[in-house]
Amino acid sequence: DLEVIVRAAHARHPELGRPAIFSISFGSWPALEVAARCPEHVDGVITFGGYASFESVVRFCLDGVMHLDGRAVPMAFDPLNMPALFLNVMRFMDIDDDPEPLAEALREMCYRTWGRMELKAEGRLVPFIDAIAETLPASQRALFREGAGGGDAARVHVENALARAQDALTFLDPTNAIASLRCPVVVCHGRDDDVIPWGEAVMLHRAVSAHVPSRLYLTGLYAHTGQGTPAPGDILREAANLLGLTRVMANGGRLRDALGHRTNL
């Protein structure tokens, strides 16, 4: 769908030039993929909160550990993600009963809790888990509790599911798209992101800058879904980052000129 839109936008309005693609979160993959597929139609890509390795992001959602340059960095991570993660790997699990009631319960958990920042506090999800579990067949309640609440048991289920998935999820890896890019990429990320850790931005920038012009902006002003507050000593640095981000956004459609050229652009 995104590729169709990008091609149509450029074809119908050539006077505007090639469009830049702006992506948020996991949308970085389709943005990079489309830019790689139709370079003649794309001016550049701007990612905010994107990722370099899908597998590493999934593992971060499980244990809150960011891996960067050989270091394992524990960070705060969002417990509200677990039902969606569990839901998306269910097809790689052995579930004896009809899986649809379990899937619907996990969706309901997302509907009731997503976007409610106060529910990230420890223990706040328990009433929701208890209420929804009662609507399930007895044989699926324990699995739902694990999937909705996280913890060691949930990690084991997801790890096993990922091992079984093998090649089924490789399309979510941006490596091939990055290698084929012919347009500049601006990588932006919040240091307090608790869904996709900021180390992914560093790795993404390193990967794309080997092929095309790239800029990296790490900011303490934003988490994954909300605004952050910088420490007083960081205000000047954050102001510079904000100015850089503003310039990038203002140059949407002209990123090739703003970030410089290489012969393959």
- pLDDT at residue 247 greater than cutoff 80: no
Mean pLDDT over 156-185 rounds to 92
CA–CA dist 1, 241 (Å, integer)? 32
Number of H helices, E strands in the chain: 12, 6
- What's this model's pTM, rounded to 2 decimal places? 0.84
- pLDDT at residue 245 greater than cutoff 80: no
Strands 65-68 and 71-74: antiparallel
- Each residue of 95-151: pLDDT tens digit? 878 999 999 999 999 999 998 999 999 899 999 999 999 999 999 999 999 999 888
- pLDDT at residue 232 greater than cutoff 80: no
Q: Among 205, 237, 204, 195, which Cα is nearest to 219's?
A: 237
Question: Residue 87 in contact with residue 107, Cβ under 8 Å?
Answer: yes
Q: Among 55, 49, 39, which Cα is nearest to 167's?
A: 55
**Chain centroid to CA 18:** 25
- pLDDT at residue 174 greater than cutoff 90: yes
- pLDDT at residue 222 greater than cutoff 60: no
Question: Residue 195 in contact with residue 225, Cβ under 8 Å?
Answer: yes
- pLDDT at residue 241 greater than cutoff 90: no
Question: Residue 230 in contact with residue 238, Cβ under 8 Å?
Answer: yes
- pLDDT at residue 198 greater than cutoff 90: yes
Q: Helices 138-149 and 82-89, interaxial angle, to 10°?
A: 120
Q: Say what the pLDDT of residue 262 is.
A: 46
Q: Say what the pLDDT of residue 224 is.
A: 46
